[in-house]
A = this chain, B = another copy of it.
């Protein structure tokens, strides 16, 4: 083993994550990250084959704060707790939120969380064949909610335009209160929807 590395893969992800938090996603270029580490841009390629691979690792690292669910709670609470924790962790690092949304991390953290999800869903009484599918569905929903949050600010106006459609519907009640796109409230609503669906399916599977 020649020349002990002065730069570990973890150093890189940690620094990149901080940089992304501080200056936004588009600041996480190879050159900027290297500058932050005070090393040559090309050195990063010793640890990650691509910029893509590096960002995957950074996104995964951002989920390290997500803890294990409490095994004593009923599955629905565990599920909400877990998914909320992931959402919070992702939003706490705005620089990588978009990346997490676009391609849910499957690094060590991602796999750990997926395992926890599967473990929780195993207690729902859902047919075994459906557990993994449900996991994917939940991850997909979570990812999408994050994507909505990322662009919420820029797009709320256009959503408002969509929402007026409802007001003009026969029987629709105009003057409804605003539903903020990507809000925590909105996330929780969809989650309850999904959990109700799981409950309905696990009780008596339909179709």
Contact = CB atoms under 8 A, between A and B. Distances in A.
A207 interface: yes
A195 interface: yes
A103 B143 CA distance: 12
Contacts of A166: 118, 122, 128, 131-132
Interface residues of A, number: 62
Given A140-B141, A163-B132, A201 B193 contact: yes
A2 to B, nearest CB: 32
A4 interface: no
A119 interface: yes
Given A103-B151, A136-B148, A144-B144, 20 more contacts: A102-B147, A103-B155, A106-B159, A111-B165, A114-B162, A122-B171, A122-B172, A134-B190, A136-B186, A136-B190, A140-B145, A141-B141, A143-B144, A194-B194, A194-B197, A195-B197, A196-B200, A196-B201, A196-B206, A199-B200
